[in-house]
Amino acid sequence: MAQSSLPSLPLEIFEMICDELPTPDLAALVGTCCHTYHRTIHRFAQRYVEVYLDFSDTSLNHLHAISQNHIMRQYVQRLVVMAPEPYLGRDRPWHRTAAGHLRNPRDISSIRRFRDDLVHRLVNCRSFIISPIPSPEPEPSETEPSRDDHLVPDDVAYILWDIIADASLPIKLFWYGKGMNYTSETMDIKRLPKHLIGNAGFRASWMQLENLHLEHELTPYNFSFLLDLILHGPALRKLYLSLGPSDLAMEFFAELARSETLPGMLERLTLAFTTIQADDLLRILCASRLSLRRLDLSGVTGLSTGWLAVLSSLLGEFPHLETIELDTLYGGEGVTLSTATTCGLSQKGFGRGRGSLEEMGMKLVDLTSQGGMLDLSKMQGTGLTI
């Protein structure tokens, strides 16, 4: 039998071949022989920086197998839950307490093993994304489980937060929300862990969070919970909030802006499809004025017509701000304040009043009126020199 010349190929050629192969074919190549394994395993492991999970036994077993390989487990950084909503954890019954949340999920052997894999083996996996894709509801049948018998996205959040709190698991990113993909009711507070914020293990973990992405319709029931998630993240660098265009959202941001524990090290702030008043936005920005690098506003309502001129006058207080991106902002009574605009602020010409913004094509004079100017006295206490 002719001997294969594949093992003798230069490593660079070997890696080029690996890059062109579909994952199943690459997996087959990895398992060809010991020599090939050592030359391909790292390229193969790079395919698993993100691991997709639907909390079925199959997907939990797959993650466990990865965790058993001392090379592959080093590459896993993010767990992503994007299974169609009715099919999360569909191959087992899920029992609930009378209060509505899952009953002791860590008592389930596969979940307990999942917890141990995260804590002891997948030590670089500290980012979690929950954003299920829409799926048509299946036709009802006598065997079709009820909504309480299978997982919904809020249950996934419960399991992850329960493990995080139990193990004091340090985390970097937590994405929890609907976006374009979410169709079920979100942030059903009865399905989430009780007394989560007061749990010492959770607070120790959450204090290390750097990136928080929340997309939920605010209700009187989830208002305080969402607020606490932000206010207990002092290390946040990136914050994305899409809370719906409502008076309740305006109240939310007013309370957030005036909190003594408002995160003060943000590098990027994104607000999308929500309502906020200009002075509250400026308070939030000013809290992170020494670190802020990027501001993105999309579909935001409630801003006064003079807010952008005030921000422009304060640019000198934001030494690291590089980009401001605005997309369809609305003032009172639906008045359009801005359509799509991106301002790149160079370090050399930055913080010099209106000039650098206007040079990017933003006509501040068209967006400013004396009647819409902010009362700068409201900004007292922020440490700014006005």
pLDDT computed for residue 142 by the predictor = 47
Question: Could you say which DSSP state residue 381 is in?
Answer: T
Whole-number Å distance between alpha carbons of 15 and 44:
10
Lowest mean pLDDT among 109-123, 225-239, 324-338: 324-338
pLDDT computed for residue 373 by the predictor = 35
31-40 in b/e form (b: 16+ CB < 10 A) is eeeeebeebb
Diameter over CA atoms, the chain: 88
CATH fold of 49-89+106-134+151-321, please? 3.80.10
**Is this structure's pTM higher than 0.85?**
no
Whole-number Å distance between alpha carbons of 25 and 27:
5
**Tell me, what amino acid is at 149?**
D
Cβ atoms of 25 and 47 within 8 Å: the answer is: no
CB neighbour list of residue 212: distance below 8 Å, 6 or more residues apart: 173, 174, 229, 230, 233, 236, 238, 239, 240
CA distances from 255 to 64, 258, 286 (A): 43, 5, 15
pLDDT computed for residue 260 by the predictor = 95
pLDDT computed for residue 379 by the predictor = 41
pLDDT computed for residue 40 by the predictor = 74
pLDDT computed for residue 328 by the predictor = 86
Per residue, the 3-state secondary structure of 67-102, as one string, reads HHCCCHHHHCCEEEECCCHHHCCCCCCCCECCCCCE
Interval 245-258 mean pLDDT: 96
Q: Is the per-residue pLDDT at 293 higher than 90?
A: yes
Q: Is the per-residue pLDDT at 34 higher than 90?
A: no
3-state secondary structure of 306: coil
Report the percentage of the chain scoring pLDDT > 90.
52
The region, left, alpha or beta by phi > 0 then psi within -120 to 50, assigned to residue 333 is left
pLDDT tens per residue across span 130-140? 987 765 555 54
pLDDT tens per residue across span 328-346? 888 766 566 666 666 666 5
Mean model confidence pLDDT for the chain: 80
Q: Is the per-residue pLDDT at 385 higher than 50?
A: no
Domain range list for the chain:
1-47, 49-89+106-134+151-321
